[in-house]
Amino acid sequence: MKTHSRLLIAILITLAVVPSLAWHTGSAQNNQQEARGKDQEKFRKSKKPVREQYIVVLNSETSADEVEPLANEFLGKHGGTARHIYKHAIKGFSIQLPEPAAMALSRDPRVAYVEEDTEATFSRTISTSSWSLTRIDQRTNIGNSYYLSNVEEGTGVHAYILDTGIRAGHHQFGTGSHNRASADADFVWWNYTNGNDCDGHGTSVASILGGFFFGSAKDVRLHGVRIGDCIGFTTAATIVAGVDWVTANHVKPALVNMSVGIPADPVFSTSVEDAIRRSITQGITYVVSAGNGPADVNGIVPARMPEVITVGASTEADSMASFSNFGPGVDLFAPGVNMQTASIIDHNGNGIPDDVTGPMEGTSLSAPLVAGVVARFLNIVPNAAPSAVQGALLNSATLNVLSNLGPGSPNRLLFSEVRHGFLGQQIRSIGEGSTNVDSGVFLNPGQWLAMSGIGEIWAGVPFTSNNGPQDRK
């Protein structure tokens, strides 16, 4: 009996101890998992990393004056080579150093996170008659040969082209004292050209935004901010440097065009997103290309950001372009196929920078078309906040004319008379036949009020959605 009793007690004790050991083991595992989670949050991997290059983002309370001393301190402690210093859009710097040192750096309490630098892809234009301007100034696709440029052409508005640079002397941007383009900054440290475009992408984009023949805003001031090299290669760190410079040096009213994309982390916000978000709070409107996939923009930075205006590409037949990215993150579509642009190549051999490309396609061309319309709107409403610009653009878009849209995509097509989407919220309802009721809208000489639908102007002139003063291209 005693032996049996002892055995029973031993079993009971063992059973009592086992759960206790299991609990302690589980607690240790949870602590390890929590530590790993914190490490992953502080040291962030990218999908297309640039070997041994990192973006260090400091805590938000870090002042601009503290950034360089901290960068020097970390360089002294962990080694490496600093490339860019960020003081405005975010606080931090980019650095080249081995991964173990970068991981150690990420654990410093003064560091918000360290992110692997990543390759970024410009939404390339591909060789394929600028029908685009004709399409965006009318509600229906009737194929006339007019562009309703009206009186606002982006005068006084500053457009910053974050791209491969700009060939500022191209005749599309004016000549002599009337030149509206400049190469303002160059952050491509491995392939410095003083901002001059040696790839051609940036010049093409700038000409669709503000070129004399191809641009949707023919008098906007164009600023080249070079973030891509001669073969269109760039990185997240270089993009952040460009955003940081614009945030510090922009002149209002200001907008940014970015036709570039990065594969996005599904969980964490990236340094590019954090920088752009901060820049937008300074009153700068950002227009970005959806990218060429086709894929859902939810996986692309900065296209997935709700704060930016994300643009997909449409065709002459009012269909989504087969290459265009799509999804709920797209704000609207704009023409992006069979478009001529300014070229950096002397095709005609005359030694004058006046050449044009053959027909091109890509969401890279859709975004600047929208950016030019944004410039025209800011010409009229220069103090409009980025959210108001985005709202006016979407409110004025032509609805339900597009086909073959990707899943979740909005059926919105760019309409160039975007100011009326803004003014329309203020116009009084006036009964038919009334001729002496103040509409509440003030028009300067030479301006006219865009109206949709079928009806009569008070003077008895029949109108449709496509009439009004028209300028031939």
User: By the 8 A CB rule, do 257 and 209 touch?
Assistant: yes
Closest to 341 measured CA to CA, from 196, 143, 142, 166: 166
Q: Is 281 helix (H, G, I), strand (E, B) or coil?
A: coil
pLDDT at position 441: 44
Number of H helices, E strands in the chain: 10, 23
| Other residues' Cβ atoms within 10 Å of the Cβ of residue 220 | 30
- Give the model's pLDDT for residue 191: 95
- pTM, two decimals, is 0.79
Backbone angles phi, psi at 398, to 5 degrees: -80, 130
Given a contact cutoff of 8 angstroms between Cβ atoms, the answer to whether 111 and 57 are in contact is: yes
Please give the pLDDT value at position 351. 78
Distance of CA 216 to the CA centre of its chain: 18
% residues pLDDT > 90 (the chain): 59
- Residues annotated as part of the active site: 163, 201, 364
Residues 70-92 have pLDDT tens digits of: 999 999 999 999 999 999 999 99
Is residue 414 within 8 A of residue 395, CB to CB? The reply is no
Q: What is the pLDDT of residue 158?
A: 98
Cα–Cα distance for residue pair 470/145, rounded to 1 Å: 10
Highest mean pLDDT among 169-173, 248-252, 343-347: 248-252
The pLDDT of residue 99:
95
Cα→Cα distances 214→205, 341, 343, 446, Å: 10, 7, 12, 23
pLDDT tens column, 114-158? 999 999 888 655 443 456 666 666 666 655 444 445 557 899 999
pLDDT digits (tens, 9 = 90+) for 392-445: 999 889 999 999 999 999 999 999 877 655 554 443 444 444 444 444 444 444
Q: How many CB atoms lie within 10 A of CB 337?
A: 24
- Write out pLDDT tens, residues 285-330: 999 999 998 999 999 999 999 999 999 999 999 999 999 999 999 9
Pairing of strands 285-289, 254-258: parallel
Using one digit for the tens of pLDDT, what is the confidence trace for 345-381?
877 788 777 777 778 899 999 999 999 999 999 999 9
Return the pLDDT at 47: 86
For the chain, the first-to-last Cα distance in angstroms comes to 109
pLDDT > 70? residue 220: yes
CA distance 295 to 453: 35
Work out the burial of residue 76: count CB atoms within 10 Å of its CB; fewer than 13 is exposed, 13-18 middle, 19 or more buried: exposed
Above 70 in pLDDT, residue 452? no
According to DSSP, the residues that pair with 394 across neighbouring strands are none
